[in-house]
Structure 1
Amino acid sequence: IRLANGPSRCQGRVEILYNGSWGTVCDDDWDIVDANVVCRQLGCGHAITLPAAMTFGQGSGPIFLDNVDCKGREAALSECWSHGWGIHNCYHYEDVAVICNGDGSIRLVSGTDTCQGRVEIFYRGNWGTVCDDDWGLSDASVVCKQVGCGQALDYKSNAYFGYGTGHILLDNVNCDGSAPSPPPCYSPGWAIHNCGHHEDAGVICTG
Protein backbone atom coordinates (compact mmCIF):
# COMPACT_ATOMS: atom_id res chain seq x y z
CA ILE A 1 0.00 0.00 0.00
CA ARG A 2 1.11 3.59 -0.56
CA LEU A 3 -0.15 7.17 -0.33
CA ALA A 4 0.30 8.91 -3.67
CA ASN A 5 0.57 12.53 -4.77
CA GLY A 6 0.89 13.94 -1.24
CA PRO A 7 3.59 16.16 0.28
CA SER A 8 4.94 13.27 2.38
CA ARG A 9 4.73 9.48 2.52
CA CYS A 10 2.12 9.78 5.30
CA GLN A 11 -0.55 11.63 3.36
CA GLY A 12 -2.04 11.20 -0.07
CA ARG A 13 -4.36 9.16 -2.25
CA VAL A 14 -4.63 5.53 -1.09
CA GLU A 15 -3.24 3.07 -3.62
CA ILE A 16 -2.94 -0.67 -3.17
CA LEU A 17 -0.88 -3.24 -5.06
CA TYR A 18 -2.69 -6.28 -6.47
CA ASN A 19 -1.51 -8.75 -9.11
CA GLY A 20 1.41 -6.50 -10.02
CA SER A 21 -0.63 -3.33 -10.57
CA TRP A 22 -1.37 -0.28 -8.43
CA GLY A 23 -5.01 0.72 -8.08
CA THR A 24 -7.24 2.90 -5.94
CA VAL A 25 -9.94 2.50 -3.29
CA CYS A 26 -13.48 3.89 -3.63
CA ASP A 27 -14.94 6.14 -0.93
CA ASP A 28 -18.25 4.28 -0.45
CA ASP A 29 -18.54 3.53 3.31
CA TRP A 30 -14.98 4.83 3.90
CA ASP A 31 -14.44 6.14 7.44
CA ILE A 32 -11.77 6.99 10.00
CA VAL A 33 -11.48 3.36 11.16
CA ASP A 34 -10.49 2.30 7.64
CA ALA A 35 -8.06 5.22 7.38
CA ASN A 36 -6.43 4.27 10.69
CA VAL A 37 -5.64 0.80 9.33
CA VAL A 38 -3.91 2.40 6.33
CA CYS A 39 -1.84 4.72 8.54
CA ARG A 40 -0.81 1.90 10.85
CA GLN A 41 0.07 -0.38 7.93
CA LEU A 42 2.41 2.32 6.59
CA GLY A 43 4.01 3.02 9.97
CA CYS A 44 2.49 6.50 9.91
CA GLY A 45 0.69 6.61 13.26
CA HIS A 46 -3.03 7.26 13.07
CA ALA A 47 -5.37 9.15 10.75
CA ILE A 48 -6.05 12.76 11.69
CA THR A 49 -8.47 13.61 8.89
CA LEU A 50 -10.26 12.23 5.87
CA PRO A 51 -9.53 14.78 3.12
CA ALA A 52 -12.21 15.56 0.58
CA ALA A 53 -12.23 13.53 -2.62
CA MET A 54 -9.82 14.87 -5.25
CA THR A 55 -7.60 16.58 -2.63
CA PHE A 56 -4.67 14.56 -3.96
CA GLY A 57 -6.04 14.15 -7.48
CA GLN A 58 -7.63 11.25 -9.31
CA GLY A 59 -5.88 7.95 -9.64
CA SER A 60 -5.61 5.92 -12.80
CA GLY A 61 -5.78 2.25 -13.56
CA PRO A 62 -8.11 -0.14 -11.74
CA ILE A 63 -10.32 0.62 -8.75
CA PHE A 64 -9.55 -2.38 -6.58
CA LEU A 65 -11.68 -2.01 -3.44
CA ASP A 66 -15.11 -0.61 -2.59
CA ASN A 67 -17.33 -0.57 0.51
CA VAL A 68 -14.30 -1.29 2.70
CA ASP A 69 -15.30 -2.05 6.29
CA CYS A 70 -12.40 -2.41 8.75
CA LYS A 71 -12.96 -3.27 12.39
CA GLY A 72 -9.79 -1.47 13.44
CA ARG A 73 -7.47 -4.28 14.48
CA GLU A 74 -6.43 -5.39 11.00
CA ALA A 75 -2.72 -5.24 10.15
CA ALA A 76 -3.43 -4.40 6.50
CA LEU A 77 -6.26 -2.90 4.46
CA SER A 78 -6.46 -6.10 2.41
CA GLU A 79 -7.61 -7.92 5.58
CA CYS A 80 -10.70 -5.70 5.89
CA TRP A 81 -14.07 -6.71 4.49
CA SER A 82 -15.00 -5.47 1.02
CA HIS A 83 -17.01 -6.72 -1.94
CA GLY A 84 -13.82 -8.25 -3.36
CA TRP A 85 -10.96 -7.27 -5.62
CA GLY A 86 -12.13 -5.17 -8.57
CA ILE A 87 -15.83 -5.24 -7.61
CA HIS A 88 -17.15 -1.67 -7.41
CA ASN A 89 -19.60 0.88 -8.82
CA CYS A 90 -17.22 3.85 -8.68
CA TYR A 91 -15.25 6.37 -10.70
CA HIS A 92 -11.83 7.83 -9.95
CA TYR A 93 -13.33 11.06 -8.63
CA GLU A 94 -14.34 8.89 -5.63
CA ASP A 95 -10.76 7.77 -4.84
CA VAL A 96 -10.08 7.90 -1.10
CA ALA A 97 -7.19 9.69 0.55
CA VAL A 98 -5.88 9.93 4.11
CA ILE A 99 -3.73 12.24 6.18
CA CYS A 100 -1.86 10.47 8.97
CA ASN A 101 -0.20 12.20 11.90
CA GLY A 102 3.10 10.58 10.94
CA ASP A 103 3.92 9.15 14.38
CA GLY A 104 6.35 6.31 13.85
CA SER A 105 7.65 7.57 10.50
CA ILE A 106 11.36 6.94 10.09
CA ARG A 107 14.13 8.73 8.22
CA LEU A 108 17.88 8.20 7.91
CA VAL A 109 20.03 11.29 8.46
CA SER A 110 23.68 12.27 7.81
CA GLY A 111 24.60 9.25 5.70
CA THR A 112 26.27 9.34 2.30
CA ASP A 113 22.94 8.41 0.67
CA THR A 114 19.27 8.12 1.67
CA CYS A 115 19.64 4.45 2.64
CA GLN A 116 22.12 4.89 5.46
CA GLY A 117 22.38 7.20 8.42
CA ARG A 118 21.29 8.00 11.93
CA VAL A 119 17.83 6.61 12.65
CA GLU A 120 15.30 9.33 13.43
CA ILE A 121 11.64 8.76 14.23
CA PHE A 122 8.70 11.17 14.17
CA TYR A 123 6.48 11.58 17.22
CA ARG A 124 4.02 14.31 18.18
CA GLY A 125 5.28 16.80 15.64
CA ASN A 126 9.01 16.37 16.20
CA TRP A 127 11.87 14.21 14.98
CA GLY A 128 13.97 12.40 17.58
CA THR A 129 16.59 9.69 17.79
CA VAL A 130 16.83 6.05 18.89
CA CYS A 131 19.27 4.89 21.58
CA ASP A 132 21.67 2.06 20.75
CA ASP A 133 20.98 -0.04 23.89
CA ASP A 134 20.12 -3.56 22.59
CA TRP A 135 20.31 -2.25 18.99
CA GLY A 136 21.03 -5.04 16.52
CA LEU A 137 20.72 -6.31 12.97
CA SER A 138 17.09 -7.42 13.33
CA ASP A 139 16.13 -3.89 14.43
CA ALA A 140 18.12 -2.39 11.56
CA SER A 141 16.37 -4.78 9.15
CA VAL A 142 12.96 -3.44 10.18
CA VAL A 143 14.15 0.16 9.66
CA CYS A 144 15.50 -0.60 6.18
CA LYS A 145 12.23 -2.25 5.16
CA GLN A 146 10.16 0.65 6.48
CA VAL A 147 12.13 3.29 4.57
CA GLY A 148 12.07 1.21 1.38
CA CYS A 149 15.80 0.52 1.37
CA GLY A 150 15.92 -3.26 1.12
CA GLN A 151 17.86 -5.27 3.66
CA ALA A 152 20.16 -4.19 6.48
CA LEU A 153 23.87 -4.54 5.75
CA ASP A 154 24.99 -3.29 9.15
CA TYR A 155 23.79 -1.60 12.31
CA LYS A 156 25.71 1.25 13.92
CA SER A 157 25.98 2.49 17.50
CA ASN A 158 27.79 5.22 19.44
CA ALA A 159 26.53 8.04 17.17
CA TYR A 160 28.41 6.64 14.16
CA PHE A 161 26.54 9.12 11.94
CA GLY A 162 26.92 12.02 14.35
CA TYR A 163 24.94 13.34 17.29
CA GLY A 164 21.24 13.98 16.82
CA THR A 165 19.29 16.75 18.50
CA GLY A 166 15.95 16.90 20.22
CA HIS A 167 14.39 14.07 22.16
CA ILE A 168 15.66 10.51 22.38
CA LEU A 169 12.38 8.78 21.59
CA LEU A 170 13.11 5.05 21.82
CA ASP A 171 15.48 2.83 23.80
CA ASN A 172 15.99 -0.92 24.22
CA VAL A 173 14.25 -1.55 20.90
CA ASN A 174 13.76 -5.22 20.12
CA CYS A 175 12.22 -6.07 16.73
CA ASP A 176 11.54 -9.38 15.06
CA GLY A 177 13.28 -8.66 11.77
CA SER A 178 11.74 -11.68 10.06
CA ALA A 179 8.16 -10.63 10.79
CA PRO A 180 5.90 -9.32 8.02
CA SER A 181 5.26 -5.59 7.82
CA PRO A 182 4.32 -3.92 10.07
CA PRO A 183 6.58 -5.91 12.39
CA PRO A 184 6.14 -6.04 16.14
CA CYS A 185 8.87 -4.10 17.93
CA TYR A 186 9.19 -3.89 21.68
CA SER A 187 10.42 -0.84 23.58
CA PRO A 188 9.73 0.49 27.08
CA GLY A 189 7.70 3.35 25.54
CA TRP A 190 8.05 6.76 23.95
CA ALA A 191 10.88 8.88 25.44
CA ILE A 192 11.68 6.34 28.18
CA HIS A 193 15.47 5.97 28.12
CA ASN A 194 18.73 6.34 30.03
CA CYS A 195 20.79 7.59 27.10
CA GLY A 196 22.64 10.54 25.63
CA HIS A 197 23.00 11.48 21.98
CA HIS A 198 26.44 9.85 21.95
CA GLU A 199 24.44 6.59 21.82
CA ASP A 200 22.31 7.45 18.76
CA ALA A 201 21.68 4.37 16.61
CA GLY A 202 22.24 4.12 12.87
CA VAL A 203 21.84 1.69 9.97
CA ILE A 204 23.35 0.90 6.59
CA CYS A 205 20.88 -0.65 4.12
CA THR A 206 21.40 -2.30 0.75
CA GLY A 207 19.38 0.43 -0.98
Structure 2
Amino acid sequence: GITVGWKNDGYDCPAGGTPTMRMQHCNRIGCRLETLFAGTWGTVCSRGFGKDNAKLLCKAMGFKEGGRPVLNFGGGQSMPPRIWLKNVKCSAGGAHGDVGDCEHTRWGDVAGCHHGNDVGLCCFGDAQGKQGRRVGISNWETCPEAGDEHLRLRDCGYKTCRVEVKHDGEWGSVCDRGFTTKTAKTVCKSL
Protein backbone atom coordinates (compact mmCIF):
# COMPACT_ATOMS: atom_id res chain seq x y z
CA GLY A 1 0.00 0.00 0.00
CA ILE A 2 0.85 3.63 -0.23
CA THR A 3 1.87 5.49 2.89
CA VAL A 4 1.09 9.18 3.02
CA GLY A 5 3.00 11.23 5.57
CA TRP A 6 0.92 13.30 7.99
CA LYS A 7 1.37 17.03 7.64
CA ASN A 8 0.24 19.76 9.94
CA ASP A 9 -1.83 22.00 7.66
CA GLY A 10 -3.55 24.20 10.21
CA TYR A 11 -4.72 21.34 12.42
CA ASP A 12 -3.67 20.75 16.00
CA CYS A 13 -1.02 18.11 16.62
CA PRO A 14 -2.76 14.97 17.91
CA ALA A 15 -2.84 14.22 21.63
CA GLY A 16 -1.88 10.80 22.92
CA GLY A 17 -0.39 9.02 25.85
CA THR A 18 0.20 6.00 28.03
CA PRO A 19 -0.46 5.53 31.76
CA THR A 20 2.85 7.29 32.61
CA MET A 21 3.46 9.63 29.64
CA ARG A 22 1.08 12.03 27.90
CA MET A 23 0.85 14.99 25.55
CA GLN A 24 -1.19 17.92 26.85
CA HIS A 25 -2.47 21.28 25.59
CA CYS A 26 -1.98 20.57 21.91
CA ASN A 27 -2.00 23.23 19.24
CA ARG A 28 -0.71 23.57 15.66
CA ILE A 29 2.88 23.67 16.89
CA GLY A 30 2.88 20.73 19.28
CA CYS A 31 1.74 19.23 22.57
CA ARG A 32 3.49 19.56 25.93
CA LEU A 33 5.16 16.26 26.92
CA GLU A 34 4.43 15.23 30.51
CA THR A 35 5.54 12.24 32.56
CA LEU A 36 4.18 10.73 35.77
CA PHE A 37 6.55 10.10 38.65
CA ALA A 38 5.87 9.65 42.37
CA GLY A 39 2.16 10.21 41.69
CA THR A 40 2.73 13.68 40.18
CA TRP A 41 2.65 14.74 36.53
CA GLY A 42 5.57 16.89 35.43
CA THR A 43 7.22 18.17 32.30
CA VAL A 44 10.48 17.42 30.47
CA CYS A 45 13.11 20.09 29.86
CA SER A 46 14.20 20.74 26.25
CA ARG A 47 17.88 20.67 27.19
CA GLY A 48 19.51 17.71 25.46
CA PHE A 49 16.26 16.62 23.79
CA GLY A 50 16.77 15.63 20.15
CA LYS A 51 14.76 14.68 17.10
CA ASP A 52 15.34 10.93 17.59
CA ASN A 53 13.76 11.18 21.05
CA ALA A 54 10.56 12.62 19.56
CA LYS A 55 10.38 9.92 16.91
CA LEU A 56 10.82 7.09 19.42
CA LEU A 57 8.49 8.53 22.06
CA CYS A 58 5.72 9.23 19.54
CA LYS A 59 6.02 5.62 18.40
CA ALA A 60 5.80 4.53 22.06
CA MET A 61 2.45 6.37 22.25
CA GLY A 62 1.19 4.46 19.20
CA PHE A 63 2.05 6.93 16.42
CA LYS A 64 3.73 4.60 13.91
CA GLU A 65 5.04 7.47 11.79
CA GLY A 66 6.95 9.05 14.68
CA GLY A 67 7.05 12.79 15.22
CA ARG A 68 9.18 15.86 15.80
CA PRO A 69 10.28 17.77 18.90
CA VAL A 70 9.20 21.30 19.72
CA LEU A 71 11.96 22.75 21.87
CA ASN A 72 11.10 25.40 24.47
CA PHE A 73 7.40 24.74 23.89
CA GLY A 74 6.70 25.85 27.47
CA GLY A 75 3.81 27.71 28.89
CA GLY A 76 0.24 26.66 28.27
CA GLN A 77 -2.68 25.98 30.54
CA SER A 78 -2.77 23.89 33.70
CA MET A 79 0.98 23.77 34.15
CA PRO A 80 2.14 20.77 36.21
CA PRO A 81 3.96 21.73 39.41
CA ARG A 82 7.15 19.84 38.54
CA ILE A 83 9.76 19.56 35.84
CA TRP A 84 10.94 15.98 36.14
CA LEU A 85 13.63 15.36 33.52
CA LYS A 86 16.36 16.96 31.44
CA ASN A 87 19.16 15.74 29.16
CA VAL A 88 16.89 12.97 27.85
CA LYS A 89 18.52 10.66 25.33
CA CYS A 90 16.53 7.77 23.87
CA SER A 91 18.48 5.32 21.71
CA ALA A 92 17.00 3.42 18.77
CA GLY A 93 18.43 0.18 20.15
CA GLY A 94 16.80 0.66 23.55
CA ALA A 95 13.40 -0.54 24.69
CA HIS A 96 11.95 2.91 25.23
CA GLY A 97 8.26 2.55 25.89
CA ASP A 98 8.37 5.67 28.02
CA VAL A 99 10.44 8.85 28.43
CA GLY A 100 11.35 7.67 31.95
CA ASP A 101 13.18 4.67 30.46
CA CYS A 102 15.46 6.83 28.30
CA GLU A 103 18.82 7.98 29.63
CA HIS A 104 18.35 11.19 31.64
CA THR A 105 19.50 13.07 34.71
CA ARG A 106 18.17 11.93 38.07
CA TRP A 107 14.41 12.48 38.47
CA GLY A 108 13.87 16.09 39.58
CA ASP A 109 17.51 17.12 38.96
CA VAL A 110 16.66 19.89 36.51
CA ALA A 111 18.83 22.84 37.58
CA GLY A 112 18.73 25.64 35.01
CA CYS A 113 15.38 24.56 33.51
CA HIS A 114 12.08 26.40 33.84
CA HIS A 115 8.66 25.76 32.33
CA GLY A 116 9.53 27.97 29.36
CA ASN A 117 12.03 25.22 28.46
CA ASP A 118 9.42 22.43 28.50
CA VAL A 119 9.63 20.15 25.48
CA GLY A 120 6.70 19.56 23.18
CA LEU A 121 6.04 16.87 20.59
CA CYS A 122 4.07 16.86 17.39
CA CYS A 123 3.38 13.24 16.49
CA PHE A 124 2.41 12.22 12.97
CA GLY A 125 -0.71 10.30 11.96
CA ASP A 126 -3.15 8.56 14.24
CA ALA A 127 -2.32 6.70 17.46
CA GLN A 128 -3.19 3.22 16.21
CA GLY A 129 -0.03 1.28 16.96
CA LYS A 130 0.95 -0.66 20.05
CA GLN A 131 1.67 1.53 23.06
CA GLY A 132 4.77 1.15 25.18
CA ARG A 133 4.96 1.00 28.94
CA ARG A 134 7.49 2.14 31.52
CA VAL A 135 9.90 -0.55 32.62
CA GLY A 136 11.90 1.57 35.06
CA ILE A 137 10.94 3.19 38.35
CA SER A 138 7.90 5.41 38.85
CA ASN A 139 8.48 6.43 42.45
CA TRP A 140 11.43 7.28 44.66
CA GLU A 141 10.00 6.93 48.12
CA THR A 142 11.04 3.31 48.45
CA CYS A 143 11.85 0.64 45.94
CA PRO A 144 9.52 -2.35 46.23
CA GLU A 145 10.83 -5.61 47.56
CA ALA A 146 10.04 -8.36 45.07
CA GLY A 147 11.15 -11.81 44.18
CA ASP A 148 10.53 -15.30 42.96
CA GLU A 149 11.99 -18.67 43.91
CA HIS A 150 15.52 -17.85 42.61
CA LEU A 151 15.84 -14.05 42.54
CA ARG A 152 14.69 -11.32 44.93
CA LEU A 153 15.15 -7.69 46.00
CA ARG A 154 15.76 -6.99 49.70
CA ASP A 155 16.63 -4.07 52.02
CA CYS A 156 15.01 -1.58 49.65
CA GLY A 157 15.40 2.11 50.33
CA TYR A 158 15.19 5.49 48.61
CA LYS A 159 16.61 4.44 45.23
CA THR A 160 18.05 0.98 45.58
CA CYS A 161 17.53 -2.59 46.66
CA ARG A 162 20.00 -5.37 47.24
CA VAL A 163 19.75 -8.16 44.63
CA GLU A 164 19.90 -11.69 45.99
CA VAL A 165 20.01 -15.03 44.20
CA LYS A 166 19.30 -18.46 45.60
CA HIS A 167 22.05 -21.03 45.11
CA ASP A 168 22.01 -24.52 46.63
CA GLY A 169 19.06 -23.52 48.81
CA GLU A 170 20.70 -20.40 50.28
CA TRP A 171 20.21 -16.73 49.47
CA GLY A 172 23.24 -14.54 48.76
CA SER A 173 23.90 -10.99 47.53
CA VAL A 174 25.01 -10.23 43.98
CA CYS A 175 28.34 -8.41 43.60
CA ASP A 176 28.09 -5.05 41.83
CA ARG A 177 31.25 -5.55 39.75
CA GLY A 178 30.14 -5.51 36.11
CA PHE A 179 26.52 -4.84 37.13
CA THR A 180 25.24 -2.27 34.61
CA THR A 181 22.00 -0.37 34.05
CA LYS A 182 21.17 -2.94 31.39
CA THR A 183 21.67 -5.73 33.95
CA ALA A 184 19.42 -3.91 36.43
CA LYS A 185 16.67 -3.52 33.82
CA THR A 186 16.93 -7.23 33.00
CA VAL A 187 16.58 -8.12 36.69
CA CYS A 188 13.55 -5.83 37.05
CA LYS A 189 11.88 -7.25 33.94
CA SER A 190 12.33 -10.80 35.23
CA LEU A 191 10.56 -9.90 38.48
Greater RCO structure (CA 8 Å; 6+ sep): 2
